[in-house]
Amino acid sequence: MIDNELNNTEDQNQELGIVTSRPTCGGDGRTAPRGKLHCYNWLEDIPGGFADFDIIEVQFKNTRKGFYRNSTNLPLETGDLVVVEASPGHDVGTVTMTGKLVMLQMKRANVKPDAEIKRIYRKAKPADIEKFEEAKARENDTMIQSRQIAENLKLNMKIGDVEYQGDGNKAIFYYIADERVDFRQLIKVLADTFHVRIEMKQIGARQEAGRIGGIGPCGRPLCCSSWMTSFVSVATSAARYQDISLNPQKLAGQCAKLKCCLNFEVDAYVESVKRLPSKEIRLETADATYYHFKTDIFKREMTYSTDKSVPANLVTLDAERVFEIIAMNKAGEKPLKLQRDGEEKEVHVSEFGDIIGQDGITRFDKKKKKKRKSKDKADNPNRNNEERNEPKGENKPKERNEPRNNNGNNGNNGGNNGNNRNRDRRNRDRQRQPRPHKGENNNNTDNA
C-alpha cells in the first residue's frame, strides 16, 4: 500500500517537473523532494506535538514558493499535491515542508507575523491535476507568441518563461531587461490574445541561467540550477583575497556575471589572512631590504624579494619566522639573513624540463630525410650544376613554335628541331614514290 502511494507521488512530481528521492535519514519513509530549494525537516520526529505548526510551505514552478495555512487540519506530508487559494481562483502546488521548521523559513523569507496567510483548500484530485496539466501544456506556445508580441512593440526585454496558474485563469510572465521597460501596452495585448489575467515578474541574469541550466567549467551542473536558493552579490575583491587572476573571461559565468562560487571560500581566506603578517611590512636585514612578493595561505608561507617589482633573490619563510623578524626590526635589530641558522630555503625559478620527451611542439611534424650528396658528387661532379640550371617540373618553360629553317640557324633547340622535321619529310616523300622497273632503270641510264 505504501509503495503504491510512493509511486503515485513520484509520478505526480515528475509531471510537475520536481525531482524527488528517498530521504536519507529521519522521516516516515515517504518520498520527499530533495535538491534545489528543499530543506530536510529535522524537527518532524520530535514527539509530544512540539513540532506541530498550522502553516505549510508549498512550492510551484521554478523558484516560486508560498506559505499557506492548513485551516482544516488535513493530514499533509512532504510531496503531497494540494490545491491552495489564489487571486483569482486556485493554484496547484507541492508540499515541501511541514511543522515548526516552516516558521523559521518564513522568518528567513522576511514574512511578517501579521501578514495575511492564504489557506489550503484540499488535496489535489484527478480533475484538478488534469486541468493543471492542460494549462501547463500551453506555456511553451504562450512564451513564443509573447516574445513575438514584445518584438513587434519594440520593447527592449526578453520573456524567459511563462507559468500558468492551476486553474488556467492567470499567467505569470518572467522577463529580463537591462533598463526600465514600460509594458502597459504589452499587458493589454497579451490579455486580449490569451484571455487570461497577466502578471509580469522581472528576474535577473543569474535567475535566468539557473532556470535554463548547464554545465560549469568545473564539469558539474550549475550551482544556480541545482541547489542555490538565494543570490548574493559578488565583487572582484573576492578574487583578490584568493589571489585569483582578474581575467574577466575566467571570472564570468554563463550569465555573464561574476561566478557565484567566488564567494564560497572567500571567508576562509579572509580569516586565514588575518593570522598572517601584513603584506606592506618590509623585512630589514644587515645586507638588504626585502619586500613581499607572494603568499601561500594554506602552507602559511610568505615569499620575499629584494626588488619591489621584479622577483630577485626570492626567499620563502614561514609565518612564525616573519613575525620574529618583524619584532627584531621593531627593536632596532637586523638579522644577518632571513632564514634561521642551518635553514636554507630559497626559491629557484626552474627551467622547463621535458620529463616525458613528448612535449615538443614539433613532435607531430614529419621528419625530412637527408639527401646523399657525397656519393653523387663522387660519381658525377657536374651533375649538381646541371640540375641547378635545368628547370624542374611545372616551372620548365614550354617550347615555342618558331619558323622552320633548313639551315638550322635558330639556335640549338630551334635548328635541331628544323633539321629533324626536314629529314622526316624527305623520308616520307621517298616512301611515297613508286619504285621503277628494271627496264625503265636501264633506259634511263642509257639516256643519261
Same domain for 263 and 215: yes
End-to-end Cα separation, the chain, in angstroms: 139
This prediction's pTM: 0.54
User: In total, how many domains does the chain have?
Assistant: 4
Residue 15 lies in a domain: yes
Per-residue pLDDT of the chain (448 residues), as tens digits, is: 334 444 444 444 444 444 333 333 333 334 434 445 556 777 777 776 667 888 998 988 877 889 999 988 888 888 889 999 998 889 999 998 888 888 888 888 888 878 889 999 999 999 999 999 999 999 999 999 999 999 999 998 889 889 999 888 999 999 988 888 888 899 999 999 999 999 998 888 888 888 788 888 888 888 888 787 677 888 888 998 888 888 888 899 888 889 999 999 899 999 988 889 988 899 999 888 999 998 888 888 999 999 888 888 898 998 999 999 999 999 988 888 888 776 665 545 555 555 555 556 666 666 666 666 555 555 555 555 555 555 554 444 444 444 444 444 444 444 555 566 777 777 777 666 665 555 444 444 444 3
Q: How far apart (Å, rounded) are the C-alpha atoms in residues 380 and 153? A: 86
Residue 376 lies in a domain: no
In Å, how far from its chain's centre is CA 155? Answer: 29
Residue 217 lies in a domain: yes
Residue 301 lies in a domain: yes
Same domain for 120 and 160: no
Last residue of one domain, picked from the residues 203, 218, 244: 203
Residue 194 lies in a domain: yes
**Structural domain span for residue 162:** 138-203
Residue 103 lies in a domain: yes
Residue 195 lies in a domain: yes
User: CA dist 217 to 54, 56, 102, 242, Å?
Assistant: 44, 38, 36, 18
Burial of 222 (0-12, 13-18, 19+ CB in 10 A): buried
Q: Is 200 helix (H, G, I), strand (E, B) or coil?
A: strand
Residue 58 lies in a domain: yes
Percentages helix, strand, coil for the chain, rounded to the nearest 5? 35, 15, 50
Same domain for 81 and 16: yes
Last residue of one domain, picked from the residues 249, 272, 295: 272
Contacts 24+ apart (CB under 8 A), 266-272: 266/238, 266/241, 266/242, 269/241, 269/242, 269/297, 270/241, 272/297, 272/298, 272/300
In Å, how far from its chain's centre is CA 301? Answer: 33
